[in-house]
Amino acid sequence: MTDKLIRFAILVSVFLYIGAARAGDNTVVRQSDQITGTDRIFTASGDDNTMANIGETTDTGFVALRAANPDINPWAIDSGSDVILPGAVIIPGNIPHNGIVINIGEMRLYDFTQSATTPNVYTIGIGRDGLTTPIGNYHIGRKTANPTWYPTPRMLAEDPTLKPVVPPGPDNPLGKYAMYLEGTQYRMHGTDKPWSLGRRASSGCIRLYAPQIDALFHHASVGTQVHIISQPVKAAVKDGAVYLEAHPDEDMADAYEYDYAMDFKVPPGTMKMILSTAGDLRSKLDWAKIRNVLLLRPGYPVRVSS
C-alpha cells in the first residue's frame, strides 16, 4: 500500500478515535518545558540513498526518518534529495533527570549522567511485537566490554543456524559493549545490525549505534539508574509558544515497516495534557495544527500556538 493510502486510512481513523481512551496504553503525563537539539537537513548521494543507510551514517532511527519524511521513498532516494534529520526533542517530563531515561515511545535514550538539564540523546532499537522492552525502573548491574553472546533456547529453536556461543567480534549481536539491567535478562548494547536502530527489531534489549553505546558505556557506571518509560506524545512551552512532539505508536511504526494501514488511536489523556501544558496560552492553541501533528506523527517539535 502506498504512503498516500496509508495517510488516508490514518486520516479517516483519527477523526473516529481522536480523544478516545485506551486504558493502560501509553498514558500521557505532564511534560517538561525544555526543548533541546536541532533538526538538520541531509542531502542524499552515493550509497546514502536509502533511509537505512542514511540512518546509519547520521545515527538516526529508521522509523524517525520515515515519519519526518513521509513523501520520500525510503528504499530509493534520488541523489540530491533533502532528507530531514529530526534532532530537536522535548525532554520527557515527570521523570527524574538523572541517570538514564529510555523512552520507548520515541525510540530514544536520554543520558543524564553528564548533565541534569542537557542530556545526550541517542537513537535506540527496541523489542518487537511479542518481545517488547519492559517499562519500569532499573539500574545497571554490570558492564562488559567485548561481551560473549549466548543465544537463549528460544532463539536457538527459532534459528537452528545460530551457534550456542558467539565470541567477541564483528559478528557478535551485542557489539563491543553491553550494560546489563540488574535483575533482568535485558541489556543496553551495540549491534552487528545497525539497520535495526530506530526500529522494533530486538528481543526486548535496547540496541544503540556503535559510537553511542561507546559513549554511554564510558559515561554510565554500575549502579546508574535506568528509567524506561513510554511517552510517544510530548508538549512544552518555550519562549511564549506551545510545541507538540508526536511519534508513531507501535502500530504506526509497524505500518511503516510492512506498508499497511492501521486503526490509529490518540493516547489517552493527550488533550488534557496539551491544555495543562499550555496553561495561560490555551486561547492561542491552533487545534488544526494539533490535529495534524497527532495525525502525521512527524517526530519533532512543532509549534501549535499563535
* Same domain, residue pair 192 and 110: yes
Specify the higher pLDDT residue, 246 or 32: 246
* Same domain, residue pair 8 and 104: no
Overall number of domains in the chain: 2
Q: Is residue 241 part of a domain?
A: yes
* Same domain, residue pair 286 and 179: no
Output the pLDDT for position 93: 81
CB 14 within 8 A of CB 291: yes
Reported as a single tens digit per residue, the pLDDT across 10-65 is 333 333 333 332 233 343 333 445 899 999 999 999 989 999 999 999 999 999 99
State the CB neighbour count (10 A cutoff) for residue 109. Answer: 25
Q: What is the band of 256 on the pLDDT scale with cuts at 50, 70, 90?
A: confident
* Same domain, residue pair 223 and 179: yes
Q: Which residues, in sequence order, are CB contacts of 113 under 8 Å at separation 6+?
A: 98, 99, 100, 219, 220, 221, 224
* Same domain, residue pair 81 and 126: no
Output the pLDDT for position 129: 81
* Same domain, residue pair 114 and 181: yes
Asked whether residue 105 carries a pLDDT value surpassing 50, the answer given is yes
- Cα separation, 22 vs 71, in Å, equals 30
Domain holding 222, by residue range, is: 94-143+175-229
Positions marked catalytic: 189, 205
Specify the higher pLDDT residue, 12 or 127: 127
Write the CATH number for 124.
2.40.440.10
Asked whether residue 5 carries a pLDDT value surpassing 70, the answer given is no
Q: Is residue 168 part of a domain?
A: no
Output the pLDDT for position 23: 31
Between the CA of residue 253 and those of 197, 259, 298, what are the distances in Å? Answer: 13, 10, 12
* Same domain, residue pair 121 and 40: no
Specify the higher pLDDT residue, 107 or 21: 107
Q: Is residue 167 part of a domain?
A: no
Output the pLDDT for position 11: 37
Q: Is residue 36 part of a domain?
A: yes
Q: Is residue 44 part of a domain?
A: yes
* Same domain, residue pair 139 and 61: no
Q: What is the band of 95 on the pLDDT scale with cuts at 50, 70, 90?
A: confident
* Same domain, residue pair 185 and 269: no
* Same domain, residue pair 72 and 101: no
Q: What is the band of 3 on the pLDDT scale with cuts at 50, 70, 90?
A: very low
DSSP state string for 219-237 = HPPTT-EEEEE--SEEEEE
Beta-bridge mates of residue 101: 110, 227
Q: Is residue 158 part of a domain?
A: no
State what percent of residues in the chain have pLDDT above 70. Answer: 88
